[in-house]
Amino acid sequence: MKFKSLMTAVALVGTAAAACAAHGDAIDVQNAWARTTVPGQQATGAFMTITAKDGAKLVGATSAVGVAQVHEMKMENGIMKMNEVKGGLDLPAGKAVELKPGGYHVMLMDLKAPLAKETTVPLTLMFKDAKGVESKLELKVPVAAVAPGAAAKPAAMDHSMHMMPAK
Ligand SMILES: [Cu+2]
């Protein structure tokens, strides 16, 4: 798959937020983080807030650490389930779309090694704009046990959910 390099940006989350804005990038990613894993754990989630200035769809993701998929988590018949978002996650123009535990997330599966805290994982997000033009955004996502800035809370429930990726 070939992407236009026009909108490609390497954003080191946090430090590069201002630089992104300065370049007038159409897509802004804030507060990205990926959840730590323990040895033997095959899957985890990456979370962030994405704003597409002119609207776009998040159509996919790739990562060197394993298989990446855009997932949606929701209740079905009283059971929390997650599925790949088919056709892309809609990012309405100018609206911050939150990917967070219990909702949309980027699933990282078939992990080659545990994700340790205070490391980063490379993550490439693929977008398609209203005209169908594809672009990608390369991120270095910090690994953390809980959402940065969020109050510490038990993560056991989220972990159990992530043990069952829908294939
Ligand atoms: Cu998932």
pLDDT tens digits, residue range 96-134? Answer: 999 999 999 999 999 999 999 999 999 999 999 989 999
Distance 46 CA to ligand 1 centre (A): 9
Question: Looking at the domain assignment, is residue 3 inside a domain?
Answer: no
Question: Looking at the domain assignment, is residue 38 inside a domain?
Answer: yes
Question: Looking at the domain assignment, is residue 2 inside a domain?
Answer: no
Q: What is residue 22's predicted lDDT score, i.e. its pLDDT?
A: 39
Distance 162 CA to ligand 1 centre (A): 6
Q: What is residue 156's predicted lDDT score, i.e. its pLDDT?
A: 45
Residue located via tokens 């002119």: 54
Report residues of the chain scoring pLDDT below 50: 1-24, 153, 155-157, 159-161, 163-167
Question: Looking at the domain assignment, is residue 165 inside a domain?
Answer: no
Question: Looking at the domain assignment, is residue 23 inside a domain?
Answer: yes
Residue located via tokens 């809609």: 90
Question: Looking at the domain assignment, is residue 103 inside a domain?
Answer: yes
Domain that holds residue 23: 10-159
Whole-number Å distance between alpha carbons of 117 and 119: 5
- Write the CATH number for 22: 2.60.40.1890
Three-state secondary structure readout of 8-32: CCEEECCCCHHHHHHCCCCEEEEEE
Distance 151 CA to ligand 1 centre (A): 22
SS3 for 157? helix
Question: Looking at the domain assignment, is residue 4 inside a domain?
Answer: no
Q: What is residue 150's predicted lDDT score, i.e. its pLDDT?
A: 62
Measure the CA angle with vertex 35, ends 81 and 57; round to 5°.
60
Distance 24 CA to ligand 1 centre (A): 31
Whole-number Å distance between alpha carbons of 118 and 132: 37
- Number of domain units in the chain: 1
Whole-number Å distance between alpha carbons of 66 and 64: 6
- State the CB neighbour count (10 A cutoff) for residue 161: 18
Q: Cβ neighbours of residue 75 under 8 Å, at least 6 residues apart?
A: 81
Question: Looking at the domain assignment, is residue 128 inside a domain?
Answer: yes
Under 8 Å between Cβ of 129 and 56 = yes
Distance 19 CA to ligand 1 centre (A): 30
Cα 62 to Cα 1, 45, 155, distances in angstroms: 12, 13, 25
Distance 56 CA to ligand 1 centre (A): 21
Distance 99 CA to ligand 1 centre (A): 11
- Kindly report the pTM of this predicted structure: 0.75
